[in-house]
Amino acid sequence: MRVIVQPDYKRASQWAANYVARRILDFKPGPKKPFVLGLPTGSSPIGMYNELTALNQAGKLSFKHVITFNMDEYVGLPQDHPESYHSFMWRHLFGRVDIPAKNVNILNGNARDLDAECAKYEDRIRKAGGVRLFVGGIGSDGHIAFNEPGSSLTSRTRVVQLTTDTKIANSRFFDNDRAKVPETALSVGVGTVMDSDEVLIIVNGANKARALRHAIEEGVNHMWTVSALQTHPNGLLVCDDEATLELKVGTVRYFKDVEAANLDPATLLR
* Enzyme catalytic residues: 72, 141, 143, 148
Binding to ligand GLP by residue 139, rule CB under 6 A?
Answer: yes
What DSSP designation does 129 have?
A: T
Alpha helices per DSSP H over 132-239: 164-170, 190-194, 209-216
Distances (CA, A) of 166 to 70, 89, 116, 160: 19, 20, 25, 12
Question: By the 8 A CB rule, do 118 and 186 touch?
Answer: yes
27 by DSSP, 3-state: which?
Answer: helix
Footprint of ligand GLP on 140-179 (CB under 6 A): 145-146, 166
Question: By the 8 A CB rule, do 41 and 72 touch?
Answer: yes
Task: State the nearest-atom distance from the C-beta of 147 to ligand GLP, in Å.
Answer: 9
Task: State the nearest-atom distance from the C-beta of 121 to ligand GLP, in Å.
Answer: 15
Binding to ligand GLP by residue 88, rule CB under 6 A?
Answer: no
Binding to ligand GLP by residue 228, rule CB under 6 A?
Answer: no
Task: State the nearest-atom distance from the C-beta of 99 to ligand GLP, in Å.
Answer: 20
- Of the candidate residues 29, 109, 137, 182, the single one contacting ligand GLP (CB under 6 A): 137
30 by DSSP, 3-state: which?
Answer: strand
Footprint of ligand GLP on 23-52 (CB under 6 A): 40-44
Residues that bind ligand GLP (CB under 6 A): 40-44, 71-72, 137-139, 145-146, 166
